[in-house]
Structure 1
């Protein structure tokens, strides 16, 4: 929940030099290699995002992840541009649901090119679904549990003596056991 006192990030914190703008076929073609190349940044970002449950606290990790992705895509474009284009075109045009199954030959050519030029091997099937332990460079986030009773008591003590409370508060304090007691 956001209140007026919730600090929001500035525009400078939210802007990154480049955004990753790829269509779905190209993204499906390069994502295994991109994830493998930026694995540390991906794990840092996902761990920070999951632990803090607040997207504002993971902006730095998100920017590092975007920068790593841009750097990888630039190196991939220099090394294997034709193979990526053939593979993405195959994904785009062979099936209406963008399946990669009919494009194994183009995938094999891209695998060879990426392995030779960028030294990144395509992860085996199931690699991303396995559990991976990651030691982050930032301290573990401490969850702050609010004491609502203490906060309410503090607010009530700060009220002036002549402040009128709700007269129907008695109805909320009563215990009801069935629908007919209402």
Structure 2
């Protein structure tokens, strides 16, 4: 990607945020709870990225998404650590593609712990596929002016009138439709 001098990049200290260092199996085991608990913050972040088409103004929202995920993992560690570790270990070692089908028993134990101790219910199947409307607290951004297409009057305001054409020599395209 080529940048010019006019592009203002954020300082590295602005981008520094505590990372969530977890394995793929751990992330997949906690994914439904992360998705449901952090849904509004994540939707706001993705809306910012989509509307502005520039990640720089959305850095603070990205930090809030990471903080929300960190909060969920801290709650799981505090209340359901053993059940979660069993479930994540099963997801990691039961199949080569991190499949869930062999881990339904440990999943049920983990889900019960989450419901009893944290009052967090696993979202039903297809929850994340449904369309939902996100009501954003922030105002929609004004679109930036496009510098590549300045507003210039059209060089050809209208086309000149054409001469009438002769009928086609061998019939028109609608030959088969007329019979």
Tell me which interval the TM-score lies in, with the shorter structure as reference length.
0.7 to 0.9
Measured in 2, the distance between the counterparts of 1:27 and 1:99 equals 13
Measured in 1, the distance between the counterparts of 2:147 and 2:67 equals 40
Going by fraction, where is helix more abundant, 1 or 2? 1
Measured in 1, the distance between the counterparts of 2:122 and 2:77 equals 17
What is the aligned partner in structure 2 of residue 162 from structure 1?
none
What is the aligned partner in structure 1 of residue 4 from structure 2?
3
Number of equivalent positions: 151
| Mapping 1:114-133, distance limit 5 Å | 114-133=114-133
Q: What RMSD over aligned residues (CA atoms) do the two structures have, in Å?
A: 1.7
Q: TM-score, normalised by structure 1?
A: 0.78
Deviation, structure 1 residue 149: 5.2
What is the aligned partner in structure 2 of residue 73 from structure 1?
73
Q: Which blocks of at least 5 consecutive residues in structure 2 are unaligned? A: 152-179
Give the structure with higher Rg (CA).
Answer: 2
| Mapping 1:149-164, distance limit 5 Å | 150=150
Measured in 1, the distance between the counterparts of 2:4 and 2:108 equals 53
Measured in 1, the distance between the counterparts of 2:149 and 2:134 equals 38
Higher deviation after alignment, 40-49 or 136-145: 136-145
Q: Which blocks of at least 5 consecutive residues in structure 1 are unaligned? A: 152-182
CA contact (8 A) 1:36 1:120 kept: no
Measured in 2, the distance between the counterparts of 1:19 and 1:149 equals 41
